[in-house]
Amino acid sequence: MRHTSLGACRRLAGVALILCLSHFPSPAQKNLGGAVQTRLALERLAVLGSVLVIGAHPDDENTALLAYLARGRRVRAAYLSLTRGDGGQNLIGSEQGELLGLIRTQELLAARRIDGAEQFFSRAIDFGFSKSADETFAKWGHDTILADVVWVIRRFRPDVIVLQSSGTSADGHGHHQASGILGKEAFAAAADRARFPEQLRWVAPWQPKRLLSRGGFGGQAVAGGIRLDTGEFDPLLGFSYSEIAGMSRSMHRSQGMGASERRGPSVSSPAVIAGEPATSDIFDGIDTTWNRLPGGAEVATILAEAAGNFLPEQPEKTIPLLLKARPLVAAIKEPWAILKLQELDESIALCAGLYLDASTDRHMVTPGESLQVNFEIVNRSRFPMVLQGVRLEGLSGAPAAESKPASLAYNQPERRSLRITIPPEQPYSQPYWLIKPSSGFTYAVEDQALVGMPETPPVLRARIIIQAGSQEIEFIRPVVRRYVDRVAGETTRPLVVVPPVAVSISEPVLIFPDSKAKRVGVLLRSNLAGASGELRLEAPDGWRVQPGSLPFQIPSTGAETTLSFTVAPPAAAARSQLRAIAKVNGREISAGMLVIEYPDNAPQTVFPPSTAALVRAEVKTMATRVGYVMGAGDEVPGTLRQLGCDVTLLSPDDLAQGDLSRFDAIVTGVRAYNVRPDLVANQHRLMDYMQQGGTLLVQYLTADGRSAALDGIGPYPIQLGRARVSVEEAPVAVLNPAHPLLNAPNQISQADFRDWVQERGLNFPSQWDPRYESLFESHDPNEPPQRGVTLYTRYGKGAYVFTSLSMFRQLPAGVPGAFRLFANFLSAAKSAQ
């Protein structure tokens, strides 16, 4: 599989794989573009220009510029986002880290389907907010990510590069600064044979003509900028590019980037910062026609005639001209021609209304199983065509093929089917950058051909060979499951190879607050009828697991069973890892399975390791009954249950009229006040609850444009700020060591601030009523002290705690000190009595 992709990559002169993939239609996309789409494709055939935009994160890209270039100028445009946005906050669900990165990858691809650009990523992991480029490079490895930027430039071969950031401290976020610095370095390094010579096995050095900067982050004007009106209206599309940009930007749903679709003039003014100067256009002095290729002039003439004489009612009349150009294009062995040949073939398919489909009746298959692939090919034109054969590729082992020529008569479906067996050793369809554990803050990718790609190529691809005139054309399509959903209508899903059983430990973190043993459940979900085998748990020395192994048999596909083991902790504090391993048909499986589905995104299947963090730490709590108001989504409730708390998720009804007095503490989840109007509306009931002796613990929220609703988050005024402490090791000073919250039921010491992840906290209050007591002070290096980290006050017989500490990250990561602090916060009303 790996070697196949590299092989194909080399055959097609280095740029190929990325190009092929951009032609795979999106599963969910319905396109009524018809003749307009065909005409645009014909016009695009004549344009040989390219632009690469480089930024740090999903949402840093100038979507208006991308739409203007890709849709308006018909050039090849792409966005290289160094990261997948793994470290941000998720506004639409509870996924964090690499799962959030997976969602954002799909959001970017959805945005690109609208603005018409392509998408690339580097291996850099978004580790959260960073205040300097130095910190960013220390974590990513400067040369590792520079290599990736160079690699993408050498593969994509842009005429022009546009940087989203200036590479100076004016950019703010350290990732932004780093993207500007790396963009500048890569502009020169990509052309230098001495830099990253190992890449030259697959790609040639490449010197883009010029480097532009869009200005400081936030788009402030740059002196000498080139004026581009991205507000122009496109009559063929029926929208202006800035309207398209709004639609594209609104795909960044997990970051709440819903954007307006602006009408009227809208100017982008990127400025040249390196390479050849330009005065009127970013392509000044760059030939973006076929004349840039040897033998291209003749192609240009034919393609101009094809586009000029295009008849929307009779698109097939254009096919003879395209077939005339085809051998001339094929004879030019240059990357541009290889790319354009594929576009030309797809234009022929558009002109013929050619329907090319390879599908199965299921989207999950396990190694060793056999699978039937059904082909349907329909020529919706009267242009004579012949189906020569079909072939499957992508899996290891003998590829299936069939050749039985058949004429494709007008609108008469021609069907074929092939049966293949999935090789027993076939890897599961894990996204390529998650196959190996990341090394620090960089994803580990073994296969160089995959570096830069937005997602893993489809596991199984169909090649459909069509004879048109004297030429044989091979079309590539992904094999997908095609089905009719009663709600969504006809739809498709990517085909994925999955383990016979998915194995997951019931909780990601197992915390042992005392020396008692715990029952630990392991969930097995079968992807195969009659799966059977043995399950065992592996724990390091000092931890005891009973029994050694358990047999299982699951009768039907999709059925689940839970097996339980007893795990006893060591006496002293300890942190390690528990692993579950199922053995089925001699193959060991230590992976769970998770399907992430959001509207407009192709469903993503991932296989997280079947592990759980084991944490032995003394944690006492005086609050056992906890009500939790889930906000934007977090994993805190599950971790509180590990402490022995009985956690109830509070519904709008519970908040409006339920009996709150039964809870020792009520906790609001991440951004609950931002997303739960019922919480804001029932704040008075929470005040009563505190009056009567309850503890209210409010976690991190944002002040984004909602300050009116946030006026009442505490008994006294609190003003939220934007300050954060992004260095997870930053010292935390305890302001009043004798304070009950730091002494009961757990005695808090500096040790409790060790081993935190990603950050200390964010959006600290900037001002607060003097009736609150501030418990801690912390700050990033060279920044002013922050005293709004955690605020506390008594209220009636109860207590109120507001904390901006990022407990939603620390608790699921199993940080012992965070558990002890959180338990003290929950116990506030009781401990201070």
List contacts with Zn ion (CB under 5 A). 56-57, 60
List the one residue out of 414, 407, 422 whose CA is nearest residue 467: 407
Tokens standing for residue 64: 């208006």
Smallest distance from the beta carbon of 136 to Zn ion, in angstroms?
Answer: 12
State phi, psi for 778 to the nearest 5 degrees: -150, 160
Furthest-apart CA atoms within the chain: distance in Å: 91
Q: Rounded to the nearest whole angstrom, what is the least distance from the CB of residue 123 to Zn ion in the complex?
A: 17
CB 652 within 8 A of CB 691: no
CB of 671 to Zn ion, least distance (A): 19
Determine the Cα–Cα distance for residues 222 and 216; give it in Å rounded to an integer. 8
Helices (H), 309-380: 319-331, 335-351
At closest approach, how far in Å is the CB of 219 from Zn ion?
13
Which CB atom, from 60 or from 243, has the smaller least distance to Zn ion? 60
What is the smallest separation between the CB atom of 172 and Zn ion, expressed in angstroms?
Answer: 9
Nearer to Zn ion, 130 or 240 (CB): 130
Q: Work out how close the CB of 176 gets to Zn ion at its nearest, in angstroms, rounded to a whole number.
A: 6
Report the nearest approach of Zn ion to the CB of residue 83 (Å).
9
Residue nearest to Zn ion according to CB distances in the complex: 57
Closer residue to Zn ion, CB minimum distance, 164 or 699: 164
Closer of 57 and 252 to Zn ion (Cβ): 57
Instruction: Please report, as a single letter, which amino acid is at residue 27.
Output: P
Q: For Zn ion, give the closer residue by CB, 159 or 171.
A: 171
Residue placing its CB nearer to Zn ion in the complex, 56 or 522: 56
Closest distance to Zn ion from the beta carbon of 714 (Å): 31
Name the minimum Å distance from CB 149 to Zn ion: 16
Q: Are 593 and 535 in contact (CB under 8 A)?
A: no
Cβ burial, residue 757 (10 Å; 0-12/13-18/19+) = middle
513's tokens: 């607050």
CB of 53 to Zn ion, least distance (A): 13
Amino acid identity for residue 477 in this structure: R
Q: Give the Cα separation of 58 and 80 in Å (integer).
A: 9
Tokens read off for 511: 């915390």
Identify which of 503, 489, 518 has the alpha carbon closest to the alpha carbon of residue 554.
Answer: 503
Contact call for residues 417 and 373 (beta carbons, < 8 A): yes
User: How far is it, in rounded angstroms, from Cα 574 to Cα 613?
Assistant: 11
Question: At CA 786, angle to CA 782 and CA 790, rounded to 5?
Answer: 150
Q: What are phi and psi of 177, to 5 degrees?
A: -55, -45
Nearer to Zn ion, 84 or 493 (CB): 84
CB-based burial label for 545 (10 Å; 0-12, 13-18, 19+): middle
Residue closer to Zn ion (CB basis): 131 or 830: 131
Q: What interhelical angle do 174-189 and 142-156 show, nearest 10?
A: 50
Measured from the CB atom, the residue of 133 and 612 that comes closer to Zn ion is 133
Rounded least distance, CB 56 to Zn ion, Å: 5
Query: Which lies closer to Zn ion via its Cβ, residue 56 or residue 718?
Result: 56
Q: Whose Cβ is closer to Zn ion: residue 131's or residue 477's?
A: 131
How many contiguous H segments (helices) and E segments (strands) does the chain have? 20, 47
Distance CA 597, CA 599 (A): 7
Tokens of residue 214, six digits: 């869009």
